[in-house]
Amino acid sequence: MDKPFTDGWRGRIGLVATAPGNATEADFNRYRPAGVAVLTTRTPLTASTPEGIREMNRFVDDAAALLAQNAYCDVVLLSSTAGSFVDGRAAALAHAQTLSLEIGAQVITSAECMLQALQALRAKRVTLVTPSSPELNRAEHAFLNEAGLDIVSEGGFLRSDPRDILTVTAEEIFDLVRHCDRPESDAVLLSCSGLHAMEIIAPMERELGKPVLASNQFGLWGSLRALGIPDKYPELGSLFCL
């Protein structure tokens, strides 16, 4: 079926984002290349805990189908990083593959984009910064360790209410990274699509002298690569210079 749209001639990205919050949608629309359309729908998130994330994931399939079948998206990103690491990599990959077949569009996950970005940058030892609950952070530790990555230092805001995550400022993120980063770390990983961090990636890289990855940055990178769009954007850090 022909797509009844004139925008998105290079590709149409569907975002399954979380509510509350608009960081992912805002970041994608601010930094998307010309010719790329971004369409968004949301799933409800009441707690940034493993239980809250799993409850949110119950709504993901219907949201992805809506984007693929009604908004004619070429690739659908499940943008919650925690949503795709909470039950492990194998489960997330199997779910994305099954869902892709069901809705007729490629489905990718934020956590898989994260691993691909770290691999592309040849980063094995990371400084991990998250805003989430200790329980969710433990799940991310397990996910990263299973992928062969070493967390050499970490910092967090330890907020289980997603509405509180939205109040974290870019300045607070930068200050926390300065405090917890270590010289032996290959890269800094800012893990949560609810963080407003895109504008500090390049300044942070200049100050620290190492790559900085953030959920919405590597989610956009993975989505564009899935569309076959290799555009480079130095303002989005080392990842977008590859």
Which pLDDT score is estimated for 3?
58
Which pLDDT score is estimated for 22?
86
Q: Where are the domains positioned within the chain? A: 11-109+217-231, 113-214
**105-143 per-residue burial string, b: 16 or more CB within 10 A, e: under 16:** bbbbbbbbbbbbbbeebebeebbbbbbbbebbbebbeeb
pLDDT band at 1 (very low <50, low <70, confident <90, very high): very low
Question: What share of the chain has pLDDT > 90, as a percent?
Answer: 95
Average pLDDT, the chain: 96
Q: Give me the amino acid identity at 2.
A: D
DSSP 57-79: HTTHHHHHHHHHHHS--SEEEE-
Distance, in Å, from the CA atom of 78 to the CA atom of 111, rounded to the nearest integer, reads: 9
Q: Mean per-residue pLDDT for 185-208?
A: 97
pLDDT band at 7 (very low <50, low <70, confident <90, very high): confident
Give the H/E segment covering residue 128: strand 125-130
pLDDT digits (tens, 9 = 90+) for 64-97: 999 999 999 999 999 999 999 999 999 999 999 9
Which pLDDT score is estimated for 87?
97
Cα dist from 149 to 20, 73, 87, 125, 152, whole Å? 31, 32, 17, 6, 9
pLDDT at 5 over 70: no
Q: Mean per-residue pLDDT for 14-38?
A: 95
Q: Mean per-residue pLDDT for 113-130?
A: 99
**165-196 per-residue burial string, b: 16 or more CB within 10 A, e: under 16:** bbebebeebbebbeebbeeebbbbbbbbbbbb
Q: Mean per-residue pLDDT for 204-216?
A: 98
pLDDT at 26 over 80: yes
In this prediction the pTM is 0.96
Q: Can you say whether residue 12 is alpha, beta or left, with left for phi > 0 and alpha for psi between -120 and 50 degrees?
A: beta
pLDDT band at 6 (very low <50, low <70, confident <90, very high): low
Instruction: Determine the CATH number of domain 113-214.
Output: 3.40.50.12500
pLDDT at 203 over 50: yes
Angle between helices 50-57 and 134-146 (to 10 degrees): 70
pLDDT at 209 over 50: yes
pLDDT digits (tens, 9 = 90+) for 133-161: 999 999 999 999 999 999 999 999 999 89
pLDDT at 21 over 90: no
Greatest Cα pair distance in the chain: 53
Q: Are the folds of 11-109+217-231 and 113-214 the same?
A: yes
Bridge partner list, 77: 15, 108
Which pLDDT score is estimated for 157?
96
Instruction: Determine the CATH number of domain 11-109+217-231.
Output: 3.40.50.12500
Neighbours of 62 (CB within 10 A): 12
Bridge partner list, 153: 127
Which pLDDT score is estimated for 4?
57
Residue appearing with tokens 């993975």: 222
Give the H/E segment covering residue 12: strand 11-19
pLDDT at 233 over 90: yes
Distance, in Å, from the CA atom of 63 to the CA atom of 112, rounded to the nearest integer, reads: 19
pLDDT band at 2 (very low <50, low <70, confident <90, very high): low
Which pLDDT score is estimated for 159?
92
